[in-house]
Amino acid sequence: MSSHALTVVTPIQPDKVKDLDTLLSEIGEDISNRTGRHISFARLTTVHFLRWVILPGDNDGGRHYRPQLAFESNYDGPLDAHLEELIRVGGPVLARIYGYCAGCPSDVAGSVASFKRFLKRYQLRSAAFYRGYPNHSVQDVMENTRARRAIQDFLDDPERRATLRDMQPERLCQEIQKYLATVPGLKLERDPEPRPSRLDRFVERLMDSRPVQLAVGIPVVLLLLPVLVPTALVLRWKESRDEVEPKTKDLVDPRVEGQEDYKVQNQLTHLVEVHPGLFRQLTLRTVLGGINFLARHYYNRGNLGGIPSIHFARWVLIDKGRRLLFFSNYDGSWERYLGDFIDQAAVGLTGVWSNTRGYPKTRLLFGQGATNEEDFKQWTRDHQLYTQVWYSAHPDESVRNILQNVAVCAQLKSQLKSQEAAQWLLKL
């Protein structure tokens, strides 16, 4: 089963923004629904991550934008089943949230079908979508975690320690497997990983091999030369006119910083205006299309251009392409995340965000920009939004943990020979 992205952006009734903020903030602060008055997210079986964010009205200078509510979920399986579950579990609270939005039919609480129709009407496609572990459902992730914990319990039991200490790796693996078979309800069979498609394999060869790159790249560039040269000239001219935003704010919105830098997982919502004009739309959509393609066919094993800590991320163009919304669910600190962006993926990021306002000075779309370390961080901060509700189904697992657990669990039923066994034991 593979995971998908749902984005729904609905206009909020202008006089209801405050009420909605209050309601969502309450939900966000009670994410495990201790009060019983909100949503029991843990009952959702299809969701890895979800969030609600209010996109405030007119926060971006020149143009007027009305206030909107953005929802994202990273879900497994078919969309209809996901929406139905969401409506079932969210129930009246969901109806209250969307009751503050314009155009919400008054009977939503009563009719699953009309609620679904409403949400789908405001659904937006991701311009680019990245998944750290596309083939592992929420249930897989949780099952794997249970198996791993069971192994730890077995190994760490002080009663057993002395006998395990002198075993050969092969024997120890067998003992672990024997023990796991006795743990009630533990699923030991894993679904096999789907084989990479032919396109995936082709892209992989292309990305990893110089000769193939040259063989494909040179003819393509030659063919495109009549387009590339004028594009480059226009870009240089446009970039020379891009204005760098002066530092306007003193301290960053304390609500944004206050919800960051928690122990394991964190989130980021970022919204910025795209430079006006057809040309920038074209370059932006091309670059995002490229990233989306690579994310689907190459960066699909816990690594987005060298960044190992992203669970799910997406770019969505909203307001008819005038603004670019970015959602990310990542591991670790903000400093580390932004640092990884700059250190590992500056080219890709600059390719995207150089088409937006206030971005640090760029050269030919992909150059400089994010490598202006301190400016890039400042710019990111200035465009971050406070996320009212954020839920993770497996908040204690890093991407690396999830993938390591997959590797551990893949061999739960195999007979491991000495070297293999020793290698497997190192993962525990």
Q: Report if residue 372 touches other proteins, rule: CB under 8 A.
A: yes
The first and second tokens of residue 266, run together, are 């964190």
Q: Report if residue 241 touches other proteins, rule: CB under 8 A.
A: no
User: Which residues are paired to 123 by β-bridges?
Assistant: 8
Q: Report if residue 343 touches other proteins, rule: CB under 8 A.
A: yes
How many residues touch other proteins (CB under 8 A)? Answer: 43
Q: Which is nearer to other proteins, 251 or 278 (CB)?
A: 251
Q: Report if residue 246 touches other proteins, rule: CB under 8 A.
A: yes
Output phi, psi for 127, to 5 deg. -75, -30
User: Which residues are paired to 11 by β-bridges?
Assistant: 68
- The full DSSP string for 107-144 is TTTT-HHHHHHHHHHTEE--SEEEESSTT--HHHHHHH
Taking the complex as a whole, the smallest distance from the CB of residue 371 to other proteins amounts, in Å, to: 6
Give, in order, the Cα–Cα distances in Å from 52 to each of 23, 97, 391: 11, 10, 9
Residue selected from 204, 257, 382, 420 as contacting other proteins according to rule CB under 8 A: 257
Q: Which is nearer to other proteins, 86 or 173 (CB)?
A: 173
Lay out the site mask for other proteins across 13-32 (x = CB under 8 A, - = otherwise).
--------------------
Q: Which is nearer to other proteins, 224 or 264 (CB)?
A: 264
Q: Report if residue 78 touches other proteins, rule: CB under 8 A.
A: no
Residue selected from 404, 408, 410, 411 as contacting other proteins according to rule CB under 8 A: 404
Residue selected from 90, 132, 134, 332 as contacting other proteins according to rule CB under 8 A: 332
Q: Which is nearer to other proteins, 15 or 250 (CB)?
A: 250
- Residue 118 to residue 48: CA distance in whole angstroms: 23
CA 338 from centre of chain? 15
Closest CA to 100 of 19, 7, 9, 8: 19
Closest CA to 51 of 405, 427, 329: 329
Residue numbers 120-179 binding other proteins by CB under 8 A: 152, 155-156, 162, 164-165, 167-169, 172
User: Which residues are paired to 318 by β-bridges?
Assistant: 323
Q: In a 10 Å sphere around its CB, with 0-12 CB exposed, 13-18 middle and 19+ buried, how is residue 126 labelled?
A: buried
Residue selected from 401, 408, 410, 411 as contacting other proteins according to rule CB under 8 A: 401
Three-state secondary structure call for residue 425: helix
Taking the complex as a whole, the smallest distance from the CB of residue 246 to other proteins amounts, in Å, to: 7
Taking the complex as a whole, the smallest distance from the CB of residue 414 to other proteins amounts, in Å, to: 17
Lay out the site mask for other proteins across 261-300 (x = CB under 8 A, - = otherwise).
x-xx------------------------------------
The region of 48-56, 57-65, 283-291, 419-427 touching other proteins under the rule CB under 8 A is 419-427
Residue selected from 242, 373, 382, 420 as contacting other proteins according to rule CB under 8 A: 373
- Residue 281 to residue 392: CA distance in whole angstroms: 33
Q: Which is nearer to other proteins, 153 or 193 (CB)?
A: 153
- The full DSSP string for 64-122 is ----EEEEEEEEES-HHHHHHHHHHHHHHHHHHHHHTBTT--TTTTT-HHHHHHHHHHT
With contact defined as beta carbons under 8 Å apart, do 223 and 216 qualify?
no
Give, in order, the Cα–Cα distances in Å from 354 to each of 231, 242, 328, 409: 15, 9, 19, 42
Q: Which is nearer to other proteins, 73 or 387 (CB)?
A: 387
- The full DSSP string for 330-362 is EES-HHHHHHHHHHHHHHHHHHHHTTBTT---E
Q: Report if residue 422 touches other proteins, rule: CB under 8 A.
A: yes
Q: Which is nearer to other proteins, 325 or 403 (CB)?
A: 403
The full 3-state SS of 150-166, as one line of letters, equals HHHHHHHCHHHHHHHHC
Q: Which is nearer to other proteins, 165 or 195 (CB)?
A: 165
Residue selected from 400, 407, 413, 414 as contacting other proteins according to rule CB under 8 A: 400
List residues near other proteins by CB under 8 A.
152, 155-156, 162, 164-165, 167-169, 172, 244, 246, 250-252, 254, 257-258, 261, 263-264, 306, 331-333, 335-336, 339, 342-344, 371-374, 398, 400-401, 404, 422, 425-426, 428
